[in-house]
Chains A and B, each alone.
Chain A
Amino acid sequence: MASYIEFTFDHSNELVELLIEHIELVLQTLVFALPLGILLGVFIAYYQPAAVTVLWGAGVAMTIPSLALFGLLIPILGIGNPPVIVALVLYAQLPIIRNTYIGLTSVDQSIIEAGRGVGMTKWQRLYKLQIPIALPVMIAGIRNAIVILIGVATVGAYVGAGGLGFYIFTGIYQANVEMVVVTTIVVSLLALVFDYGFKSIEQILQLRNGEEIPLTWGAKLLTRALP
């Protein structure tokens, strides 16, 4: 135990540096993965014939081993962060698309009919009715994707991307147990923090929709901080 604590203190600077790189990598991925996944999810909710193909494609993308994917991407994108971001965007698609699709398609038809009745356009119905109702399911998918991303991003170290993977992968080669264990704990904590953060964001959005829900501590903090 003492050796783990010692390792953490001795390497705290590098760990923080790698942690920041890791967060950057995940955020850069989300910038692409979220709009793409949500758009595809909305698209197949409206154009059902494409649903099977799109979900199948996202499922296949998730099963490609990361090292094989990097091998394919190196000739196009080189090494470092770009191939890793592309790989991570692909890996994140299935939960985001699937939950968006399921969330939107399971909205009660009578509500949509009511929206049509009061003269809402298709987009207004989507924006004002379907998305707010589907939100918890959609965000559950996004949270799922983020936890996957934070874990898989460690493999980016294989092609020279930044992040905590560097320590995991160096630790394995050096048979440095402290390095592997401490870094893995940091990765897991990061995933928990992101998951909790998105749960809080979900609650804020639900509040703005006028729902009454018991708030997490994080959501309470956020409501105070936000205007």
Chain B
Amino acid sequence: MRGPHTTRREMLKASGVGMTAGLATTAGCLGDDESVAVASMQWSEARLMGYLGYEMLQENTDYTIEDEIGLGGSAQVFEAVRNREVDLYHLYTGGAWATIPPQRDELIGDPQELYERARDDMEEEHGLVYLEPASFNNTYAIGANPAWTDETGIETLSGLAEHVNAGNTDMDVVLGPEFQERSDGWPGLVDHYNFEEAAEDIEIQTVEADLTYQILGEEEADLGMVFSTNPNIQQFNLDVLEDDEDFFLPYNPAPLVNEETIEEFEIEEPLNEVSRSLTSEEEVIELNVRIDIEEEDAQEVAREYLEENGLI
């Protein structure tokens, strides 16, 4: 009795070893696919999001995680993920919806609905998996120099519309070139808040998007395009007009991953956990201030955040 039993166990054991060896060989054959390459766009908050994902996977999985953070512009990183040169990066829902083919014009104010529709687009058009988004929102906003808001008392975009429609078109506005043309930018804004006609008399200057904060801070312009979690808003003490009629698309970052990567590696849950923890804009602004203004290393800031939140 004992003989055959041992033999069977040994056989099972042997086949088990064999299977494992076989799997290892297959995995080995895929070369680079043994590791997960985390990428990001080049600006600070995008790099921060990249390192949050990178550090999280590094600590919570046994895979080799590659650092491809700061890879390039939005279009380049997207292409890299699509072609599986890298495995994932954080893409903002508003950007996914409005700037990546099929480039939708429709404005969706509800973050959840926007995410779901962008997710379906990514899946159907590109075969990519869009994981859970963080709920903090880094969207476009209209910033104002405090001297101007003190003088006019305007705090909201509908207040601005009223002010402009009453004939007060004597103000200087600085916008980035993209924002000036896009339907989810200035042309859509004046249309949504109904001051299209009066807006034609407003002086608009096109400048580099990163310079608007300094220009507003130096009171060289009254209003300008800003990104809501940019640390320069705090640095230059700018006011931000409230988007009280929900015109701007929500921009929630979410990991965009290649489908094959999701099938091969169990990385979904750790990445979603990071997204779930990022709920407060104030907190993200603080992290951005540390990176951009206090010049701390993005990777260090990401690690500390994850440690403080008990994620690693």
Contacts and interface: CB of A to CB of B under 8 A. Distances in A.
A160 B208 CA distance: 8
Nearest to B179: A173
Interface stretch (B2-10, B153-161, B210-218): B210-218
Contact of B208 (A67, A78, A80, A174): A67
A157 interface: yes
A170 B215 contact: no
B176 A173 contact: yes
A169 B177 contact: yes
A96 B215 CA distance: 32
Contact of B211 (A158, A166, A173, A175): A158
A71 B211 contact: yes
B214 A71 contact: yes
In this complex, the member of A71, A159, A170 whose beta carbon has the largest number of chain B beta carbons within 10 angstroms is A159
A74 interface: yes
B293 to A, nearest CB: 15
Interface in B3-51: none
Contacts of B190: none
A70 interface: yes
A154 to B, nearest CB: 13
A75 B221 CA distance: 12
A79 interface: yes
A170 B181 contact: yes
B178 A74 contact: no
Nearest to B210: A67
B206 A74 contact: no
A157 B283 CA distance: 34
Interface string A37-81: 000000000000000000000000000000100110011001110
A173 B175 CA distance: 13
A175 B205 contact: no
B207 A160 contact: yes
SS class, residues of chain A in contact with chain B:
helix
B278 to A, nearest CB: 27
Contact of B181 (A71, A159, A174): A174
B75 interface: yes
A64 to B, nearest CB: 16
Interface residues of B, number: 17
A158 B208 contact: yes
B220 interface: yes
A26 B144 CA distance: 32
Contacts of B214: 71, 74
Contact of B178 (A75, A159, A166, A174): A174
B207 A79 contact: yes
Contacts of A67: 208, 211
Contacts of B221: 79
Contact of A75 (B177, B180, B208, B218): B218
B215 A79 contact: yes
Nearest to A160: B205
A159 B208 contact: yes
Interface in B122-178: 174, 176-178
Given A74-B211, A166-B206, A175-B75, A160 B218 contact: no
A79 B216 CA distance: 11
A213 B295 CA distance: 61
Contacts of B177: 157, 166, 169-170, 173-174
A166 B75 CA distance: 21
A185 to B, nearest CB: 20
A159 B176 CA distance: 10
In this complex, the member of B205, B207, B221 whose beta carbon has the largest number of chain A beta carbons within 10 angstroms is B207
A157 B211 CA distance: 12
Contacts of B211: 67, 70-71, 74, 158-159
Given A74-B211, A74-B214, A160 B178 contact: no
Interface string B211-240: 100110010110000000000000000000
Contacts of A78: 218, 220
A172 to B, nearest CB: 8
A144 to B, nearest CB: 27
Contacts of A170: 177-178, 180-181, 206
A174 B176 CA distance: 11
Given A74-B214, A160-B206, 4 more contacts: A70-B211, A74-B215, A159-B211, A169-B177
30 contacts: A67-B211, A70-B211, A71-B211, A71-B214, A74-B211, A74-B218, A74-B220, A78-B218, A78-B220, A79-B174, A79-B205, A79-B207, A79-B220, A80-B205, A158-B207, A159-B207, A159-B211, A159-B215, A160-B174, A160-B206, A166-B177, A170-B177, A170-B178, A170-B180, A170-B181, A173-B178, A174-B177, A174-B178, A174-B181, A175-B75
Interface of A: 67, 70-71, 74-75, 78-80, 157-160, 166, 169-170, 173-175
Interface of B: 75, 174, 176-178, 180-181, 205-208, 211, 214-215, 218, 220-221
